[in-house]
């Protein structure tokens, strides 16, 4: 079985301040749970500038970087770790395109997003970035719970 199809693959998902403020936390979580993915860590926090600058480091030379950081500092976020077979790629499909106006109805951004700078959620785009983002947002002192659901996993995976 390839690493990207392993049932224990983990990814980082973050509901941004616009999603929190608009009361979409439950809706976002519900979509992942209904798909069969398992949440293994969740915290609400107002991220520090330092944490956000590390998280978005690859964008620091972009014109929108300062505005992005200021927006992300504007309110709490929900940082989460999800696991399941193919969760990294499928999470990006559930979210839709970065620009909500290019996202299909039925996706999180397609249903609730309006502007590229206010697109509800972030999702890791690769296994390497998922591992890096999980370690950044959930350092060893906070940890991610490693557990397997009981009989439901037998219904989801061969």
Q: Are 12 and 130 in contact (CB under 8 A)?
A: yes
63-68 contacts at long range (C-beta below 8 A, 24 or more positions apart): 64/117, 67/117, 68/117
Neighbour-count burial of 1, counting CB atoms closer than 10 A to its CB (0-12 exposed, 13-18 middle, 19+ buried): exposed
Q: How far apart are CA 125 and CA 141, in angstroms?
A: 25
Give the active site residues. Answer: 122
Q: Express the helix, strand and coil content of the chain in percent, nearest 5 each.
A: 45, 15, 40
Q: How far apart are CA 150 and CA 134, in angstroms?
A: 24
């Amino acid at each position: 079985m390839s690493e990207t199809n392993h049932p224990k693959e983990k990814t980082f998902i973050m509901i941004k301040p616009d999603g929190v403020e608009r009361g979409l936390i439950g809706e976002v979580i519900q979509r992942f749970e209904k798909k069969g993915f398992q949440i293994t860590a969740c915290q609400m926090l107002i991220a520090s500038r330092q944490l956000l600058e590390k998280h978005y480091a690859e964008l620091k030379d972009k014109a929108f970087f300062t505005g992005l950081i200021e927006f992300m500092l504007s309110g709490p976020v929900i940082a989460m770790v999800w696991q399941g077979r193919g969760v990294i790629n499928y999470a990006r499909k559930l979210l839709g395109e970065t620009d909500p106006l290019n996202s299909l109805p039925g996706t999180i951004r397609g249903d609730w997003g309006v502007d590229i700078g206010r697109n509800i959620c972030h999702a890791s785009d690769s296994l390497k970035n998922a591992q890096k983002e999980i370690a950044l947002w959930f350092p060893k002192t906070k940890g991610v719970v490693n557990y397997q659901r009981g009989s439901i996993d037998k219904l989801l995976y061969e």
